[in-house]
Chain A
Amino acid sequence: MSARLANNKGEWINRAASVKFSYEGREFSGFEGDSISSALWASGEQVLGRSFKYHRPRGILSLANHDVNVMLTDGMDTNMRGDVVAVAEGMALKAVNTDGGVKKDKSRFIDSISPLLPVGFYYKAFHTPKRFFPFWENIIRKAAGLGVVNFNYPRITKPKLHEHCDVLVIGAGATGLSAALEAGASGLRVIIADENAQAGGSLGFDWAGGQESSTLREQLLARLAQLPNVSLRLGAYAAGYYPDHLIPLVSKAGMVKVRARSVIMASGAFEQPPVFRNNDIPGVMLGSAAQRLMHRYSVLPFSNGVVFTANDYGYRVALDLLQAGVKVAALVDLRERAEESALPDQLLKRGVKIIPASCIYEVQANADKSGVKSVTIASYDSASNEAQLHDKITLACDGVAMCAGWVPTANLLYQAGTQMRYDYGVHQFVPQRLPAGMFAAGRVNGVYELNDKMADGVRAARLALRHLGQEVAEPATVALAATAQSHAYPIVPHPKGKNFVDFDEDIQVKDFINAAKEGFDNIELMKRFTTVGMGPSQGKHSNMNAIRILARVRGVPVEQIGTTTSRPFFHPTPIGHLAGRGFHPHRLTPLHDANLQLGAVMTDVGAWKRAAYYQVPGLNVAQTVLAEVEAVRKQAGIIDSSSFGKIEVHGNEAALFLERFFTGRYADQAVGESRYTLLLDEAGVVVDDGLAHRLDEKLFYLSSGTSNAAAVYREMQRWQQIWQLDIGLVNVTGAYAAINIAGPLARQILSGLMQGLDQLQPGSACLSEIAGVPVRLLRVAFVSDFTYELHIPTPQASFVWQRVMAAGQGLGLKPFGTDAQRLLRLEMGHAMPGIDTDGLTNPFEIGADHALALDKPDFIGKRSLQIIAKRPLKKALVAFALAPGYAGEIPLECNLVIRDGDIDGRVTSIAYSDTVKRVIGFAYVSPQQQALGTVFQIRTDSGALVAATVVDSHFLEAQ
């Protein structure tokens, strides 16, 4: 059966392009432009999904992106919303969350046992006895959840764009278009966005049997097209509001982050369902959904329907139904009479029976609940809000259009901090105090009549322009709708329930009443207990009715109940859109390619890629590293240290800055001298160490390890903000490459390349050059006593590296990586901050007393050190060695030191040194165990205790 109507002016479908697809194993066809739901409905298919909890059949509710019971999968994608996802050729669709197909869903029995599942039932059972809970939990977990995730779904990278505009208009209905036209006339940059595939909002479907709206829509769009400074974005929803008018527009193509100078919310309103028994049977839909079906997709919603309305909108819907050829069996009005008499007159003229002060008491479904068979209509006592059954009648029909009112689409307004008030004239929340630069117009503002909406759009645009400093005419005030657009209590109680408030979560009227009985009578608590509004539609059709029910239960006005907090996202937003391309910033040294050519295996050190070791054919990693170490100890090694932190402190007070920043003394440091630097935090905890090279009276060149460099520089900047010394700080980490040449033959290798080596004593620095390239030459002793560190301008790094490598040829010069470096420094007895210290280590504990100039007026952490110095030491870092020839399980870093069965400390560094021929390392122990020669116990991974002896940290010299 085809329910497709004749060609309809402005329809979204392209009848020239037919689309074939399958649903639940059967073949269907629709047109390009159809949503999945409209294409299926056109083919007479009404059961489009099953509900989340009771597995009841569900069809179309809103066609406005909150039909969350119509979620489908095409095998790859899941939780696809049938009401808004366009149908595409070849789609093989299935409803999610069914057991054996949407028609024969085996879980449908749950509907009949629903009395066993009261609100919050899962809090009340399954936990005693405790041992059975995992069994029940497994069942509940499997029952919960919607679609199945396909683990082969590809990672999709969507671009992200940033845009700026003067006026951002959300919503391209009559209000938004008017606002955009008015704002656009000023010449400012305007973006107008709408989530629908086509602009016009309700102009495109709410016709009340006429054509005027459709014509007006075309006129407005034609005028908009004349304005080159106005950009219309369709299929793009405003996903959320973030501070300073940052609003991401999300479309299929990706996310555009719009930073607007002003925002006009013309987002309209969501139609709300009245609540009555079986208001969820396929065929029962919102009046605006029926209109969307007829006018967007040219599909008949049903052929013989009843309109159940609680406002005048239902009369407009009835006129549209008649116009499309639907037989309107009756219009049931919850109210005594319509506000506007012209509308009922039109219906009466066309023979529609209007039943006032009445309600649909219940819908009777056909046998398999796949559609409407009839409805029972009864009088409605508006004082008690009860149906009066004495005069009830039953009418055969195959569909119901529901109109009970509206909820302002104020999500972003709330997120922006708008204060809303409940207006008892319109019966909805309207903005009371808007944040600066935000404006609201149209239905979201409580303005409903078409001309008023357009005037309200103009008003909001003028306010926005004035906010932006433009001189425009005084905006005329627009009054709120003069009549109630929403019903104060469109709820029909029924002893048998199944009168749904929240379709996402299958929450019935009694669930709210019972939740309140149990003390959850605050709207936030009620939300959390009943889960109303927590489903994928986020309460778009349910929150307001929940508020109305709660207000009634508590006997207080609606505004005292308030609303739950609105949070991003307006519509659920794909992870791939939010993630975008995903960047992984990392830094390469200028010698990266040279390293790779030498067989370097790279490792991450902070953001840097560094060579861990240089692969040698035939050697395993451990052997490779030992060979690298051996080269440094016996001939010479070369390492790319370009990632080391390098900071220059310039200026008259450079020395003073260092005196305050580090623990040591620098005022009396001679030019050409290098001194140790130790940085603490204000609590006296060790943060970092390094060297300060005085290259000039007014220039200190600081070098430090890789990991902390950025943080240390940041900290320097912070303190300089406070101290305001006469200095400048320059982070030259990237401007200089660094190369260390270490080992007994280092000097010999370099001597042919540069001057000044002979005069350069350990612990000093000078300026030199290699083949005309200026070099900062440092004599350091980190990995070996014979180390020269060359700092070279980055562009020349590769050139110098090649020259040194060439000079080392024949002298056994080998590149070495960070693995060997760590072992080399251990052999040298250097503790490393971050490895041999932790978040609480003070300098006394690592024996760095020598680096503390406690008689200085001040330095960072000094006050804390003065207090700590008076207290007994709690732990001490000691160097240790395992017994010579030890062949057992070697402890690992962070294995614990155990004393009398309790934790005494831990190993921080450990390795076998081929140079020393022993396993050596650092460990924290209690002060009682710190004396040289003390034997302490380390517990290995397997639990064995290994004896270690405290030794002098100069492992090499001891050797």
Chain B
Amino acid sequence: MPLRLLKYALSKEYPGKRFFQAHETPKKSYDVVIIGGGGHGLAAAYYLAKEHGITNVAVLEKGYIGGGNTGRNTTIVRSNYLTPEGVKFYDASVKIYEGLSEELDLNLFYSTRGHYTLAHTESAMRTMRWRAEVNKHVGVESYVVGPDEIAKACPQLDMSCSGQAPILGALFHAPGSVARHDGVAWGYARGADSLGVEIFQNTEVLGIDVQGGKVAGVKTNKGYIATTKVLSAVAGFTPRICEMVGLETPIVIHPLQACVTEPMKPWLDTILVSGSLHVYVSQSSRGELVMGSSLDPYEVHSTRSTLDFVEGLTSHMLDMFPFLSNIKVVRQWAGMADMTPDFAPVMGKTPVEGFYLDAGWGTWGFKATPISGKTMAETIARDQAPDLIHSFRLSRFEDYELTGEKGAASVGH
């Protein structure tokens, strides 16, 4: 038992301290205002303070920190994308994640379990090979494996999927991991707070003051805040925030749903994804199966769950694992995913001076939390986006320079 827990056992007074201060009223002005207290916004605040010495920063969160998609995703971290730009970007994220528990001194349960994207059709096998080849080229450990290797990694898997969709192979991605999503937000919040960043919960942005094409301030339910730099790091509300500065984005919002079972003793050691069956699943450290599926096929601004979703998902789960018939689903929920036409994010500067965008995170936001925070912090500090996120700039949609990640992101996880 690690010694640091002794402190808790032996102290008279509970030795735990506040992760972050409970600020109520914002100051009149800040150097940077970050809209959205999810993982991305908090990470950006942390890196602004830590790497760029910019500590006069306010993070404004409408609800509670990490309560949006940070707390709703299925916690998978991977970098087996399709475009070299995407693979490099997410790989940089994986690298930070691997050392993040130590850096933030919070156990994020970052658990590298290996990630299999199952292929049930020849065309899926082609895409797997494509991704494997690009991954390998960029130095990421992904390769195509055959049914034998899959069966060895997950002997419980019905390789024929009830005879309906025999597994032909998979893309194996060794660094594929899961982590405690809440912890990521809390760790960054604590880190940022300790460096002087102020976090405001229950603080809603009502408008952004733009004067002469430049950001001048932010209107909130707790008053006006003067600032020349605003980062929007929200999900589900990006179009609304962008409207405040007169920007249009090609983002549309689809619900993405997930569900979780009762805890059971660990048996599923890997992360499994099946595009054909629209399933992804991993077993959490608590023993629950965490399951998700594709995006809902319609645009709607809602976090309401549907029965349809869980019926379809469970049916396909049984194709893969027929013995789960009497295992029970405890809870289902939904998040709002900001979808872009090319399934890649929107990051960097915008035509409005001082307004920075970290958006379009669709179904791939959690895994990018550290690197997006880091690169957005750099973008704000230097007023110039680093090369790593050049492919994700907003202007790519006007320039017809899309970063096609659809092939690697179509089952959202």
What is the interface of chain A, defined by CB distance below 8 A to chain B? Answer: 52, 77-79, 97, 113, 115-118, 121-130, 133, 136-137, 140-142, 144-156, 160, 240, 242-243, 246, 248, 257, 510, 513-514, 517-522, 524-525, 528-529, 536, 538, 565, 567-569, 572-576, 578-580, 582-584, 603-604, 683-684, 834-835, 838-840, 864, 867-868, 871, 892-896, 903, 906, 939
Contact = CB atoms under 8 A, between A and B. Distances in A.
B264 A147 contact: yes
Nearest to A510: B14
B67 A524 contact: yes
Interface string B254-282: 00000001111111000000000000000
A122 B330 contact: no
A125 B5 contact: yes
Interface of B: 1-2, 4-6, 8-10, 14, 16-22, 63-67, 71, 84, 98-99, 101-102, 105-111, 121-123, 126-127, 129-130, 133-134, 137, 156, 162, 164-165, 180, 182-183, 186, 201, 261-267, 285-287, 304-307, 310-311, 314-319, 322-333, 341-342, 400, 402, 404, 406-407
A11 to B, nearest CB: 29
A691 B2 CA distance: 71
A904 to B, nearest CB: 11
Contacts of B264: 78-79, 145-149
B329 A525 contact: no
Contacts of A513: 14
Contacts of A140: 285
A122 B107 contact: yes
Contacts of A604: 121, 165
B400 A894 contact: no
Contacts of A97: 265
A150 B287 CA distance: 15
Contact of B328 (A156, A573, A839, A867): A573
Contact of A896 (B22, B67, B133): B133
A575 B332 contact: no
Contacts of A868: 400
A576 B321 CA distance: 11
A242 B306 CA distance: 6
A88 to B, nearest CB: 15
Contacts of A136: 2
Interface centre among A77, A519, A524 (most CB of B within 10 A): A519
**Shortest Cβ-Cβ A-B pairs, 10 listed:** A145-B287, A576-B325, A572-B328, A155-B322, A115-B9, A894-B130, A127-B101, A127-B107, A579-B315, A156-B325
B129 A893 contact: yes
Contacts of A574: 325-329
Contacts, number: 275
Contact of A576 (B134, B201, B261, B326): B326
Given A145-B266, A896-B134, A517 B106 contact: no
A124 B156 contact: no
A400 to B, nearest CB: 29
B317 A142 contact: no
Contacts of B98: 130
Given A155-B322, A567-B332, A578-B310, A118 B265 contact: no
B137 A903 contact: yes
B96 to A, nearest CB: 13
Contacts of B105: 127-128
Given A126-B2, A517-B18, A572-B328, A144 B311 contact: no
B164 A584 contact: yes
Contact of B342 (A128, A520, A569, A840): A840
A129 B318 CA distance: 39
A891 B292 CA distance: 35
Contacts of B156: 151
Contact of B133 (A257, A840, A895): A895
A281 B93 CA distance: 48
A528 B310 contact: no
B406 A839 contact: yes
B9 A116 contact: yes
A147 B404 contact: no
A125 B2 contact: yes
A144 B287 contact: yes
A579 to B, nearest CB: 4
Given A124-B107, A572-B330, A522 B64 contact: yes
Contacts of B8: 115-116, 118, 121, 124
B392 to A, nearest CB: 15
Given A572-B262, A575-B328, A683-B341, A834 B22 contact: no
Contact of B331 (A79, A148, A257, A568): A568
A536 B400 contact: no
A155 B318 contact: yes
Contact of A514 (B16, B64, B110, B180): B16
Contacts of B287: 141, 144-146
Contacts of B182: 528-529
A645 B325 CA distance: 38
Contacts of B9: 113, 115-116, 118
Contacts of B319: 582
12 contacts: A142-B266, A144-B286, A145-B286, A148-B265, A242-B307, A519-B22, A578-B315, A584-B164, A603-B122, A604-B165, A839-B404, A864-B400
Contacts of A519: 18-22
Given A149-B264, A574-B327, A578-B329, A116 B101 contact: no
B134 A569 contact: no
A579 B262 CA distance: 16
B342 A144 contact: no
A818 to B, nearest CB: 10
Nearest to B410: A839
Contacts of A142: 265-266
A867 B401 CA distance: 11
A402 B328 CA distance: 29
